[in-house]
């Protein structure tokens, strides 16, 4: 099996006359935490979406390696990519994108129920993840009854509960104050790379990026630098 979990080659993507990606090559190692940085409009979120199979690039390929072998993500149909995202990938976004009408445990369990797990068992698993992320006793609270940091921990639990081997995070601490951001980033790292999983995140925050094992910098749709935090 390849030591890389994701290998992208020659990724290009345009939206009208805007060239979001201009020939990006990037490999992500199993078990690493990779931060993608760059100014607004540099292409970092588009790159994340292509790596995760959310967006299909105009040109180039994305390969995903798992125990079952290599999958060419770019060659999959929309339905196949949707299934891959449900089963192998987890997602954490800036605002969490949680369902406010559901409780914390229901939000987490939903990811399992979509994969066919019975509700009672899914909620039991979900509660276990919430407890592991410091939210024991808050399972029945709705999202509006949680702090920003607590809500992001719910989002992290939802991203992990299916056993995702890769978690993609887009500005996961962007809406949080610095102290809460540090706590949430710690929880995200502990529950991903701390468990042998892989984390790929987009951030503007140098402090957040500095806690990852590798940083790539983007400008004008290209990777212009790669570095290891001091």
CATH number at residue 143: 3.40.50.300
**Mean per-residue pLDDT, 169-180:** 86
Q: Say which DSSP state 106 is in.
A: H
Query: pLDDT at position 230, please?
Result: 79
Instruction: Identify the pLDDT of residue 96.
Output: 61
Give Cα separations from 208 to 96, 100, 134, 141, 211 (angstroms): 17, 27, 20, 28, 6
Domain that holds residue 151: 4-227
Task: Over range 152-174, report the average pLDDT.
Answer: 90
Q: Is the pLDDT of residue 2 over 60?
A: no
For the chain, give the mean pLDDT: 92
pLDDT (0 to 100) of residue 80: 94
Phi and psi at residue 104, in whole multiples of 5°? -60, -50
In Å, how far are 23, 44, 52, 224 from 219, measured between CA atoms? 12, 9, 20, 6
Q: Which residues, in sequence order, are CB contacts of 34 under 8 Å at separation 6+?
A: 28, 198, 199, 200, 201, 212, 213, 214, 215, 216
pLDDT tens column, 5-17 = 999 999 999 999 9
Q: What percent of the chain stands above pLDDT 70?
A: 98
Over residues 83-105, the mean pLDDT reads 87
| 198 DSSP 8-state letter | E
pLDDT of amino acid 111:
86
Average pLDDT, stretch 105-131?
Answer: 93
Question: What tokens were used for 58?
Answer: 């105009």
Rounded to whole angstroms, the Cα distance separating 12 from 226 reads 19
CA 31 to chain centre: 13
Above 50 in pLDDT, residue 183?
A: yes
Please provide the DSSP assignment of 3-31 as one string. Answer: SEEEEEEEEEEEETTEEEEEEEEEEEETT
pLDDT at 1 over 50: no
What's the pLDDT at 43? 95
Q: What is the CA radius of gyration of the chain?
A: 17
User: What pLDDT is recorded for position 180?
Assistant: 84
Summarised one tens digit per residue, pLDDT across range 68-89 is 789 999 999 999 999 999 889 9
Task: Encode pLDDT of 120-160 as tens digits.
Answer: 999 999 999 999 888 999 999 999 999 988 998 899 899 88
pLDDT at 95 (0 to 100): 65
- Number of structural domains the chain divides into: 1
């Amino acid at each position: 099996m390849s030591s890389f979990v994701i290998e992208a080659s020659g990724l290009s993507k345009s939206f009208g006359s805007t060239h979001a990606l201009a020939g990006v090559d990037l490999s992500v190692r199993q078990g690493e935490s990779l931060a993608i940085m760059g100014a607004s409009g540099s292409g970092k979120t588009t790159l994340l979406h292509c790596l995760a199979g959310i967006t299909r690039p105009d040109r180039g390929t994305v390969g995903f390696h798992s125990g079952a072998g290599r999958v060419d993500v770019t060659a999959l149909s929309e339905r196949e990519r949707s299934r891959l995202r449900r089963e192998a990938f987890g997602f954490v976004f800036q605002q969490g994108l949680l369902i406010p009408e559901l409780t914390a445990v229901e939000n987490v369990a939903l990811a399992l129920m979509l994969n066919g797990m019975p509700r009672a068992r899914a909620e039991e698993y979900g509660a276990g993840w919430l407890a592991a992320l410091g939210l024991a006793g808050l399972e029945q609270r709705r999202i509006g009854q949680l702090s920003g940091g607590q809500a992001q921990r719910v989002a992290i639990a939802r991203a992990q509960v299916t056993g995702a081997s890769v978690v993609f995070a887009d500005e996961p601490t962007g809406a949080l104050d610095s102290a809460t951001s540090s706590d949430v980033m710690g929880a995200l790292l502990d529950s991903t790379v701390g468990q042998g999983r892989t984390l790929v995140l987009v951030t503007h925050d140098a402090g957040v990026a500095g806690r990852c094992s590798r940083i790539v910098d983007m400008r004008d749709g290209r990777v212009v630098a790669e570095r290891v935090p001091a």
